[in-house]
Amino acid sequence: MSERIAVYPGSFDPIHNGHLDLIERCVPLYDRLVIAVLGNEAKRALFSVDERLEIIRELVCRHHGCVVESFSGLLVDFMDRVGARIVVRGLRAVSDFEYEFQMALMNRRLNPRVETVFMAPKEEYSYLSSRLVKEVFSLGGDLSGLVPEPVLARLRRHFEPAGSRRRSSRRAPAAGKTGAPEG
């Protein structure tokens, strides 16, 4: 029987516990799970692709059959390259549905072999997004239980200029930081 390979694509800027929850749900379902980090985004990212790959690899290396790669261009072309037919996407709320439905249908139109599987994350992560993670951190909010420690460590490095790192969990926004979160 051929290997069941699924691709979980995203920006992952940064990865958070909602993403990780989905990955843990997928691992037992497929022989191989390829976490595909979008490399050529038009929108400005806080973390470089290399940083995102490094963080995610660190977090998922314990999962057998899970690999992390970057891609650019069409997702369906990347899927062909890795021999996958299944795209996994998380659906947090009804508000995600329209965008996800459009993408699923366009991907199937571009490559009829491709099917999209939607998965629901744990309820406690259903409001979580990478955009909110960056915004809340930059304004000094508490992200405990929402992002893994390696992400918190990198957020500190990005938002707190060298030499001014404080022990307090409250942080002031980093003035003039170029990778500031977008609206």
Between residue 125 and residue 154, which ones bind ligand PNS under the rule CB under 6 A? Answer: none
Tell me if 119 contacts ligand PNS by CB under 6 A.
no
Cα 17 to Cα 36: distance, rounded to the nearest angstrom: 17
Residues annotated as catalytic are: 19, 43, 92, 130
Encoded amino acid at 107, one letter: N
Cα 23 to Cα 60: distance, rounded to the nearest angstrom: 8
Tell me if 74 contacts ligand PNS by CB under 6 A.
yes
Instruction: Pick the closer one to ligand PNS by CB: 33 or 75.
Output: 75
Tell me if 33 contacts ligand PNS by CB under 6 A.
no
Instruction: Pick the closer one to ligand PNS by CB: 130 or 138.
Output: 130
Pick from 7, 8, 9, 159: which binds ligand PNS (CB under 6 A)? 9
Cα 117 to Cα 83: distance, rounded to the nearest angstrom: 16
Taking a C-beta distance cutoff of 8 angstroms, is the pair 146, 17 a contact? yes
Neighbours of 138 (CB within 10 A): 20
> Which residues would be at the binding site for ligand PNS (CB under 6 A)?
9-11, 38, 74-75, 103, 106-107
